[in-house]
Structure 1
């Protein structure tokens, strides 16, 4: 039903995604309603299709963002009545591109959550920040440190200091908590979203998942026709399971353009089954 989900406004797009069963959780639907795609897509923002954003990258089709958010919901959104002492949610968005899904995930993560978008091109990192700053809600997320954009090699994951709740640091970056726990689980991620296709499931990413944690990642060759969405789950005991899902076509998770094996300019991430 993806091809029928386009709308004339953000509200209409989200409602069509909901009607067609591409959004199924009220929490995810509400997050999509709070983030206007017009701030992130360069043209025809309410069409359910991917669009190029420069540097060989795309903003994914809304139905793909919906599918990713739904898949990660349980590990991103806080429980309605969180247990005392529950650690804040930490979410990593690799290949954050336009910043659209980064913003949606930050809306889902709650007031004590932290979402970090990582891009390997500085111009795309800056694009995500500029796009998010177009709305009062986005500016508040950036200024509080609840949402941040970084430049780095996403294939190696990302290490970000654990924030002290409610205390932003210099430039809106949250300060590290005194006496913060050490180790991959303390500084790891409840959920990892990868927005470009990896040639393999990088163990660095798996190791950075908290227990429990989940990763949503397209994996496959650079040609795009043998790519599939994989979900990788780590349970509370640290046991890892991997499940291959539907076929997709994403830009590859590779080096900066100009380097060997740089990103190709695919223009589609529509799934097929």
Structure 2
């Protein structure tokens, strides 16, 4: 599916979702089909979210590009992801931060976390990504502070633990708003110990972020 991947990445670049060579290179390198259930792999390079089971989805490629561009990643960064899914987003981020960086990703559903570990191992990212089963709204304080934190699900408001686990000068990118409808993608810059700058990046639609500082389970 290499040619389909190249065609999609070129379209995302031409439409302005991909803006930098590092993000373009990462999305060309990571095989999205390897992070999907067998039944949806034929649609891996359609630009839309697709189900991965347990009520969860793999994000549309253009949304992955938007978030990764907004994170402004560089090699060697310490990253926290909330919502592993099958591991695709984490692999793209790991491709950019390189072997000197690391991605810690928290997934609340054990079966998805286990599949993500297998996918990351099979694609060569296992040593760069650590998958943790737990409540992502609490973050992962063991490896804090983080240069960047991002969420792949929407919270009712920005979880305070995630803000506190950012480095000074670090960025948090997360959807927030309604549980069932459209939300806003926001960026949070930690200016000092107690000061943050929040910016609205536009409307999005994500599955809910379940947890103590997120939405309750149904």
Report the TM-score, using the length of structure 1 for normalisation.
Answer: 0.73
1:1-273 correspondence runs (5 A): 9-42=4-37, 43=40, 44-73=43-72, 76-78=73-75, 88-135=76-123, 138=124, 141-142=125-126, 144=127, 146-161=128-143, 187-225=144-182, 227-235=183-191, 239-255=195-211, 261-262=216-217
Point out where structure 2 has 5 or more consecutive residues left out of the alignment: none
Report the equivalent of 1:84: none
| Rg comparison, structure with higher value | 1
Point out where structure 1 has 5 or more consecutive residues left out of the alignment: 1-6, 79-87, 162-186, 264-273
- Decide whether the 8 Å contact of 2:86 with 2:116 is kept in 1: yes
- Decide whether the 8 Å contact of 1:224 with 1:251 is kept in 2: no
Q: Structure 2: how far apart are the matches of 1:243 and 1:193?
A: 14
Q: Structure 2: how far apart are the matches of 1:104 and 1:29?
A: 10
Greater percentage in helix: 2
Q: Secondary structure at the match of 1:206?
A: helix
Q: Structure 2: how far apart are the matches of 1:46 and 1:34?
A: 13
Q: Secondary structure at the match of 1:133?
A: helix
Q: Structure 1: how far apart are the matches of 2:191 and 2:119?
A: 35
Q: Structure 2: how far apart are the matches of 1:223 and 1:99?
A: 23
Q: Structure 2: how far apart are the matches of 1:8 and 1:188?
A: 39
- Counterparts in 2 of 1:34 and 1:103: CA distance versus 1, 3 Å: same
Report Cα offsets for 1:178-214 as digits up to 9, x if no partner: xxxxxxxxx3111011000001111111010011100
The alignment of Structure 1 onto Structure 2 pairs a total of residues equal to 211
Report the equivalent of 1:81: none
Shift of residue 77, structure 1, vs aligned partner: 1.1
Report Cα offsets for 1:61-86 as digits up to 9, x if no partner: 0000000000002xx213xxxxxxxx
Q: Secondary structure at the match of 1:104?
A: helix
Q: Structure 2: how far apart are the matches of 1:41 and 1:17?
A: 20
Q: Structure 1: how far apart are the matches of 2:30 and 2:194?
A: 34
Shift of residue 238, structure 1, vs aligned partner: 6.3
Report the TM-score, using the length of structure 2 for normalisation.
Answer: 0.90
> 4+ residue runs of structure 1 moved beyond 6 angstroms?
none
- Decide whether the 8 Å contact of 2:147 with 2:170 is kept in 1: yes
